[in-house]
Structure 1
Amino acid sequence: MSDDPGPEPADEPFHDHDVERLVADIDLDPFLGRRHDPLAEPLDEPAEVGAQAPPLLALRDLIADDRFPELFARALRAADPDFRELFPRDATPVLREFVRAMTWAFETTEYADGDRSKVEEVVEFARHLGADHRKLDLAPRHHQRFGEALTHTLRHLAGRGWDDRLETTLATAYRVLSTALQQGAAAGEGPARVGATVVEVLRPTRDVVVVRLISDVMVDYHPGQYLSVLTPYSPGVWRRLSPSIPANPAGQIEFHIRDVPGGALSGSLVRGVGVGDRWVLARPLGLLEVDRSEPFRDVLMIGGGTGIAPLRCLLLDMMRHGQNPRVHLFYGARFPGDLYDLPTLVDLAATAPWLTIQPVAEEDEDPWWAGPRQELPRTLHRRQTGTLVEAVTQWGSWADRQVIVSGSPEMLRATVRGLVAAGTPRENISFDRP
């Protein structure tokens, strides 16, 4: 027997703990043909179930438990192999949206108090969601197993608090919602998914990419709508992106995407997109539009960052008309160099006497680390310094305008609140929730 202890651990290509971590991270069940119950062990602290609470509200409280998304994700992976492909590896953000939707559905139904229109509102929402889910190509089997996983997860969370009334209420509610989802999917027309090829990539700033694609067949969307997009950079992650040009027979589409810190897709997309990549586009959604009913009502548009894309699409569509309402566009960003689309907007304004551009930046100068940037063109109005909501509201309430706002969730909240506080009627303001 040799006394040589062998190579030091630092010289080994893989340490034992590295191999264990790698193997533990691989889900081998689909390859081994076995199914197991990831929720077999009871929880140390089951969720509290109010014995006197109405069943729908008790289910709402269970689904709102902080442990639900992770437990449900595990149950889904075990319920059907297809769910492993339909959901991203980290399904928590998607399932949190599911929790929000189900919470609203349970509460609206419970508090309807016999008002059938309120219940129908929930069913219609499910139909609308089902139309969007056409892109997932779900079969009745998927709906059944999704429901089984949902029941199993809530039963697991409730522990001994689970009873027949919760089981029956959940089964009834899920049957109604699942039926509406499938009805919505079946009512859709045209292809559920369309392939598209990246033909050009522009990088106007350090964290923004402009992606131009040509779709296999024309995607017929209205100006101001957004599309659900699936890319190869984050499998299973669908992202809502707004085209910056109107639909056309050539199938040309352009998207503006910013690298959002911590985003599930934006970082890998902005850094990894290249010519020749294949994307998948799905059903257009959204309600941003310019009311062209006569007599024309003037328009206030407010776009922050890449939120300028759907507004630019609306403006390009308006260029087709001989007569248009006056449009005052506030285009804002954090630094002056981030106003990357200003040259295009100025070119539009040069041939559209009804369009006025007001650039806004929160800072006066670009930071040293931002790198070189294009020279920004002069506009009729000098660039203002401050937030968009400050720049807009200093001119008054704009109460006589139709107002269209587009940008990040934080920008939307601040701008809408500021406008309402300044006297803009809330019903005059339109925006799409990201």
Structure 2
Amino acid sequence: MGNDPGPDHADDDAFRISAAEELVGDIDLDPFLGPRHDPLAGPLDSPIEIDTSGPPLLVLRDLLCDERFPEKFSRALRSVDPDFREMFPRDPGPVLREFVRAMSWALETTEEARGDQATVEEVVDFARHLGADHRKLELTPAHHQHFGEALGSTLRHLAGRAWDDRLQTTLTTAYRVLSSALQQGAEQDQGPARVGATVVDVLRPTRDVAVVRLVSDVMIDYHPGQYLSVLTPYSPGVWRRLSPAMPSNPAGQIEFHVRDVPGGALSGSLVRGVEVGDRWVLARPLGLLEVDRTEPYRDVLMIAGGTGIAPLRCLLMDMMRFGENPRVHLFYGSRYPGELYDLPTLVDLAATSPWLTVQPVAEEADDPWWAGPAHDLPRTLHRRQLGTLVDVVTRWGTWADRQVIVSGSPDMLRATVRGMVAAGTPRENISFDRP
């Protein structure tokens, strides 16, 4: 220590610490004992340059978009309320980046509204909708308060000396309005915030796909084509959107199709680790995929890539309840023929549904050697076509007279929608849910 009193006076130094205490002081005990210091204390790597003369809502947006915000905000959240340690996954970065995207949109839209009440109400409605989805987190008013405190301390830290009363007042007002709307949305939503479900069967039709069948503790009333928020034991704190492959039913039976996506936060551990008897948590259904049954019927084009077949199969199964249906032409594609794992079920549906035609598509003619034994695929009305989904679909024309429903990976969605619009399909005819 700097001012060592010397050995003769060591016992008289009331502030002297032992070697054991020095060692403990070097260990990060925050996860066990809570914060001892300001979690945001310490100098920034480099000062952020902001123009405080601009609109305060946009200044706050710029602070949110600073690349250091997610990491520093995560530390502040975990320190201000221990509950947030359990709510967030081990790597909270992706979740917090989504928060930044939503908050930035709200701030920008409010600033651009220039006081227009209808536009401001659109932002508030967005927050209410988000609050309904966040019921699954079971947030209390204290959680909202602590979240706001962590947000304020993080933005003040990033702004440094540029922070002033104007920014503080704007942030306080904006957060109070949005937080109130979030809580209103959670209170207005009906039904349980969470529903438990037990895995009763697991199929692995390919090396990287798991078909998981569950029975929920109580029936979940979702519309065909919607998705559910799902929490599993394989990646704690990670909620994912999964689309049921069968309609809601009184028995609580639900089926999900999950592909192992390289680098995914959940899919790999789920596909490899799911077993019968595991307990999952399911939350509020969302999504807008549907077949327009307005008469006169307009024919339907469905395009599914990989596990994107799940919500479309759910729609088809629901349509079988009706005596009359629009004609449906389904293109079901994958990289290799053997990955068309749900084709037998689709062929069975088509065998009893004269309004349904199934067109298999594969980018490659043969399965790779590492795929294992090849299974004979059922014969369909149409022979399997080679090529990407968008190429095969657009070979048949623009489909401009159809309602088009697309489901698959983000890359597949982008390529298919862009390709169809370029081929002449009206964009307003195409619907899909963003993963």
Place the TM-score, normalised by the shorter chain, in its bin.
over 0.9
- Higher Rg of the two aligned structures: 2
Is 2:277 aligned against 1:265?
Answer: no
Distance, in Å, in 2 between the alignment partners of 1:319 and 1:204 is 25
* Superposition deviation, residue 113 in structure 1: 2.2
Give me the whole-angstrom Cα distance separating, in 2, the residues matched to 1:146 and 1:171: 12
Q: Which stretches of structure 1, 4 residues or more, deviate above 2 A after TM superposition?
A: 26-36
Q: Per-residue deviation at 1:427?
A: 1.2
Which amino acid is 1:316 matched to? M
Distance 2:150 2:36 in 1: 13
Report if aligned partners of 1:205, 1:373 keep a CA contact under 8 Å in 2.
Answer: no
1:298 aligns with 2:304: no
Equivalent residues in 2 for 1:162-241, closer than 5 Å = 162-241=163-242
Contact 1:35–1:78 (8 Å) recurs in 2: no
Q: CA deviation at 1:117?
A: 1.4
* 1:375 partner SS: coil
Aligned mates of 1:27, 1:305 — CA distance in 2? 45
Distance 1:327 1:232 in 2: 38
C-alpha contact 1:223 1:246 (8 A) present in aligned 2: yes
How far is the alpha carbon of 1:33 from its aligned partner?
Answer: 4.9
Aligned pair count? Answer: 411
What does 1:254-403 correspond to in 2, within 5 Å?
254-403=255-404
The whole-number CA distance in structure 1 between the counterparts of 2:54 and 2:370 is 57
Is the Cα contact below 8 Å between 2:328 and 2:357 reproduced in 1?
Answer: yes
**Distance in 1 separating the partners of 2:425 and 2:184:** 39
What stretches of structure 1 of length at least 5 have no aligned partner?
A: 1-22
Residue number in structure 2 paired with 1:247 = 248
Task: Name the residue aligned to 1:414.
Answer: 415
SS at match of 1:376: coil
Deviation at 1:36, TM superposition (A): 3.0
Alpha carbons 2:344, 2:377 under 8 Å: kept: yes
Query: How far apart are the structure 2 equivalents of 1:394 and 1:72?
Result: 50
Question: What's the counterpart of residue 137 of structure 2?
Answer: 136
| Alignment partner, residue 36 of structure 1 | 37
Match for 1:193: what amino acid? R
- Please tell me whether the aligned partners of residues 305 and 408 of structure 2 are also in contact (alpha carbons under 8 angstroms): yes
CA contact (8 A) 2:35 2:79 kept: no
Distance across 2 between alignment mates of 1:46 and 1:76: 22
User: Structure 1, residues 346-396: CA drift from partner, whole Å, max 9, x if none?
Assistant: 110011010011111111111111112321111111111111111111111
Cα distance in structure 2, aligned partners of 1:124 and 1:390? 39
Given that residues 34 and 79 in structure 2 are in contact (C-alpha distance below 8 angstroms), is that contact kept between their aligned partners in structure 1?
Answer: no
In angstroms, what is the RMSD of aligned CA positions? Answer: 1.4
TM-score (norm. length: structure 2): 0.92
Preserved CA contact (<8 Å) 2:364 2:387: yes
Q: Secondary structure at the match of 1:126?
A: helix
Q: Hey, what does 2:95 align to over in structure 1?
A: 94
Per-residue displacement from partner, 1:86-137 (whole Å, max 9, x unpaired)? Answer: 1001000100111110111111111112322111111101000000111111
What is the alpha-carbon distance in structure 2 between the residues aligned to residue 155 and residue 204 of structure 1? Answer: 52
Q: CA deviation at 1:164?
A: 1.3
Distance in 1, matches of 2:292 and 2:348, equals 24
Give the TM-score taking structure 1 as reference length.
0.93
1:339 Cα deviation (Å)? 0.6
Mean Cα deviation higher: 356-365 or 43-52: 43-52
Distance in 2, Cα, partners of 1:34 & 1:75: 10
Task: Tell me what 1:52 maps to.
Answer: 53
CA contact (8 A) 1:361 1:385 kept: yes
